Structure 1
């Protein structure tokens, strides 16, 4: 099949992890994948789809277009696929207006109803889409990681200086700042602990030294792997339950044990005593970090199990297989017709 994806930009994290990563595997299976930016102007949106009629399917990634634009696009293209990895029908955790947004909700419903196939990043997102279309038009393909890019951490016994790591963007750093009092408590309770922040903006936390590491795509994997424990904290709210927990998968790919609060898919990725520890209260967080800081063998065992999980279920190879299986449905329908 000839595929074209309408994306915010090819450099956007969503495009890189959820589409570009699968391009080679799709090509090997006989598919091609091109990219086009989503037009911003009124004129560009009114013309959307006119030059895409030669493609077998158009993938609209994440963007909720005005309903009239979605309707025009639907009429002009052969097949339409919607791929999304956030609770896009809601405002985010940091909006002063609250989560509910009637305009977003209406656009989300119109988009889902217009599509031949909906690809959701997790089951929470898929269930929302299934409120509006038959269940068999919705499938889950998780955000996946290129395992080959990551060096697995060799855990070492340390008398002090355990290094936590958090990776994210300036927008998600807001969540970590809310978590600041617990981070400070960890710094006081586990002397020598440091926090490596891999980001494009930085924060400071009393009693917990911060190592600033400016994010780049080229160095991200190595910087994560040089730490000892990955941390994942998100607010427990409807928006966060839709997150696909990419940072947790990145830590696990690097062979790190993870401590995270059990919100959304973080509860699936982090299993107590197997791939890390779940923690809600400050006391639970302090206990988990203290236990892991004192036991390099435990960190190694949990990290190795986590790495195997990613290879089996969240690697680029695993995700590409799901994409190829999903696209095969179109061929089955064509032949049946």
Structure 2
């Protein structure tokens, strides 16, 4: 099948992890996957799809276009696929306007109804899509990581001070700043602990030293694997329940145990005493970090289990199989209107 993906940019994290990662596997299976940036101008959007008639399917990634643009695109292409990994029908956790946005909701509904296949990053997102189209048009393909890029942390008794790690962007760092009082409490309770921030912006937390590490794609995996415990905290709200918890998967791919609050898929990825610990209150967070700090064998055991989980369910190979199966089902049938 000849596929073309309409993306914000090929360097965008969603494109890299949800499409580019599967490029080689799709080619090996006999498919072709090209990429085109979404036009920003009114003229470009009015012409969207005119040059795509030779493709068997067009993948619209994440972007909610005006309804008239979606209608034009639908008429001009053979099949339309929508891939998304966030609760895009809502505003995000940090909006001052609240979560509900009628314009986004209307665009989301129009996009879902126009598509032959909807690829959701998790069950929460798929459930929202099922409000508007039959379940046979929807499939769940989680965000996946290339485990071959991650060396597994050895966790030896020779390790120096305990290193927590958090990876993200300046936008999601806002959430970690809300979590600051708990991080400070961890710093007071675990002598010598420090937090490695892998980001494009940095902040400080009283009582918990911060190691600043500027995010670079080429070194990200190695920087994560040099830490001891991954930190996964997000606000407990409708937007965060739609997140695909990429950072948790990255920690686990590196063989790190993870402590996270059980919001959205984090509750699936992090299992108490198996791959890490779930924690809500500050006391629960402190106890979880203290337990892992005191037992290097536990860190190693939980990290190894987490790595196996990623290899089995959330690796690029696993995600590619789901894409190939979904495309096979799509076949030559046009299901949308």
Following superposition of structure 1 onto structure 2, how do residues 21-36 of structure 1 map, counting pairs within 5 Å?
Answer: 21-36=21-36
Q: Paired residue for 1:88? A: 88
Give the Cα separation in 2 of the matches to 1:115 and 1:179: 39
Q: Pick closer, same or farther for the CA change 1:178–1:158 going to 2, 3 Å.
A: farther
Q: Paired residue for 2:145? A: 145
Q: Paired residue for 1:212? A: 212
SS at match of 1:171: coil
CA contact (8 A) 1:160 1:191 kept: no
Query: Is residue 57 of structure 2 the alignment partner of residue 54 of structure 1?
Result: no
Give the Cα separation in 1 of the matches to 2:304 and 2:330: 38
Q: Paired residue for 2:154? A: 154
Give the C-alpha shift of residue 66 in structure 1.
0.2
CA contact (8 A) 1:259 1:270 kept: yes
Give the Cα separation in 2 of the matches to 1:206 and 1:161: 17
| Deviations 1:289-310, CA, capped at 9 Å, x for gaps | 0000010000000000000000
Give the Cα separation in 2 of the matches to 1:193 and 1:204: 14
Q: Paired residue for 1:266? A: 266
Q: Paired residue for 1:312? A: 312
Q: Paired residue for 1:119? A: 119
| Deviations 1:81-100, CA, capped at 9 Å, x for gaps | 00000000000000000000
Q: Paired residue for 1:79? A: 79
| Deviations 1:219-269, CA, capped at 9 Å, x for gaps | 000000000000000000000000000000000000000000000000000
Give the C-alpha shift of residue 333 in structure 1.
3.7
Give the C-alpha shift of residue 330 in structure 1.
2.2
The answer for unaligned runs of 5 or more in structure 1 is none
Give the Cα separation in 1 of the matches to 2:32 and 2:139: 21
Give the C-alpha shift of residue 156 in structure 1.
1.7
Give the Cα separation in 2 of the matches to 1:277 and 1:190: 17
SS at match of 2:166: strand
Give the C-alpha shift of residue 161 in structure 1.
1.1
The two structures have a TM-score, normalised by structure 2, of 0.98
SS at match of 2:26: helix
Give the Cα separation in 2 of the matches to 1:158 and 1:257: 18
| Deviations 1:168-208, CA, capped at 9 Å, x for gaps | 00000000000000000000000100000000000100000
Following superposition of structure 1 onto structure 2, how do residues 276-287 of structure 1 map, counting pairs within 5 Å?
Answer: 276-287=276-287
Q: Paired residue for 2:326? A: 326
CA-based RMSD of the aligned residues comes to: 0.9
Give the Cα separation in 2 of the matches to 1:147 and 1:330: 28
Q: Paired residue for 2:227? A: 227
Give the Cα separation in 1 of the matches to 2:317 and 2:156: 30
Give the Cα separation in 2 of the matches to 1:258 and 1:27: 34
The answer for unaligned runs of 5 or more in structure 2 is none
The two structures have a TM-score, normalised by structure 1, of 0.98
Q: How many residues align?
A: 334
CA contact (8 A) 1:166 1:196 kept: yes
Give the Cα separation in 2 of the matches to 1:79 and 1:160: 55
Give the C-alpha shift of residue 329 in structure 1.
1.1
Give the Cα separation in 1 of the matches to 2:330 and 2:241: 30
Q: Paired residue for 1:70? A: 70
SS at match of 1:293: helix
SS at match of 1:170: coil
Give the C-alpha shift of residue 331 in structure 1.
1.9
